[in-house]
Amino acid sequence: MKLPLAMAALFGAVQLWAGVTPAPAETTPIVTANSRLGRGINLGNALDAPAEGAWGVVLQSEYFQTIRQAGFDSVRLPVRWSAHAGKEPPYTIDPVFAARVDWAINQALTSKLNIVVNVHHYEEMDADPDAHLERLTAIWRQVAERYQTLPNSVYFELYNEPHNHFTAEKWNPTITTILQTVRASNPVRPIIVGPTSWNAIHALDELQLPESDQNLIVTVHYYDPFRFTHQGASWIKDANQWPSLAWTGSEAEKTAVRTDLEKAARWGREHGRPLFLGEFGAFSKADIQSRANWTRQVAQEANRLGISWAYWEFSSGFGAYDPAAERWREPLKSALLVN
């Protein structure tokens, strides 16, 4: 079912991002909320690791200030709640870990950053969604109640990259179940939700959202061409044997990015849902200039199309920031913050 009013509001937002003065149109709270997300960056490989520090990243208070001072609007905080919750009912979240998430949220808010808090790397759920639905629901009940009094600059993202056995057939009804749980304590908070197949753009057509909930932002992730963005990645089979690829910004390369993101934007217009590009990035084994070329193109297209975004990620293998040198990798920073 199409929603003409929401579509008109989204079209206006798209024109604003593109630098075009739109025809007068009534906006909606969720379009405004998505615009506030603006330009963001992921604090990855920290609280989404099996334990913070296991993947080389421990969050520091100065990171949040550095991100804000650079000109970013938001951070996305991937959280592996499933590694810190009981295995049996009531699936209680470890209070020490929860306090660490509290700290990160407070750091973002103090630094005047919006923050997206998600459920990340719940691998057991992807393997057997039926067996873990009750636990995921209980985790979200605790998270939602814990943060219900926080401002709406704290966004909830229901689940990162459903895949494997977590198919659309399983995921779509799960969305409704988790939304009902979260809405019991957070009736108007902006909530982010994406499609299956690792939040792929091509899976948007299978995503089904409850029409009654208009406080939803739809997220997609983008890492194409995959053999460029993931060359040399240790967690991808045989990726260290792939030939080195550059990304020069040829017309064919730019057109491919433009076509993919325009497909997502078109889905958003047709369904009256604003879009958040929750992840995009190129791994450090690619040369820095190629990474910057690709990153700039993706960011520019997202900006043009009115899609908010968060780069993957701050300070690890894809990092735009060098924590050892305590400075930004300037080509990537410039590419992200391009006008």
**What's the pLDDT tens digit per position in 222-234?**
999 999 999 999 9
Alpha-helical regions (H) of the chain: 4-17, 29-37, 61-70, 95-110, 123-127, 129-146, 168-183, 196-199, 226-229, 251-271, 288-305, 330-336
Measured in whole angstroms, the distance separating CA 45 from the mean position of its chain's CA atoms is 14
Whether residue 221 has pLDDT greater than 90: yes
Between CA 80 and CA 277 the distance in angstroms is 20
CB atoms within 10 A of CB 72: 24
Q: Under CATH, what is the fold of the domain 4-336?
A: TIM Barrel (3.20.20)
Q: Where are the domains of the chain?
A: 4-336
Task: Give the type of residue at 132.
Answer: H
Query: Tell me, what's the pLDDT at 332?
Result: 98
Q: Are strands 39-42 and 74-77 parallel, antiparallel or unpaired?
A: parallel
Whether residue 8 has pLDDT greater than 80: no
- Please give the structure tokens belonging to residue 226: 């995959």
Whether residue 23 has pLDDT greater than 80: no
Average model confidence (pLDDT) across the chain: 93
Between CA 55 and CA 97 the distance in angstroms is 17
For 261-273, write each residue's pLDDT tens digit.
999 999 999 999 9
For 119-149, write each residue's pLDDT tens digit.
999 999 999 999 999 999 999 999 999 999 9
Average pLDDT over residues 73-89: 98
DSSP 8-class letter at 83: G
Average pLDDT over residues 328-336: 98
Neighbouring residues of 53: CB distance < 8 A, sequence distance ≥ 6: 46
Of all residues in the chain, the percent with pLDDT exceeding 70 is 92
Contact at 8 Å (CB) between 195 and 169? no
Confidence class for position 16, pLDDT limits 50, 70, 90: very low
Query: Tell me, what's the pLDDT at 338?
Result: 77
Query: Tell me, what's the pLDDT at 27?
Result: 86
Task: Give the type of residue at 186.
Answer: N
Query: Tell me, what's the pLDDT at 117?
Result: 98
Query: Tell me, what's the pLDDT at 339?
Result: 65
Task: Give the type of residue at 8.
Answer: A
DSSP 8-class letter at 320: S
Average pLDDT over residues 58-66: 98
Query: Tell me, what's the pLDDT at 303?
Result: 97
Neighbouring residues of 287: CB distance < 8 A, sequence distance ≥ 6: 244, 246
CB atoms within 10 A of CB 48: 23
Average pLDDT over residues 86-111: 98
Structure pTM?
A: 0.92
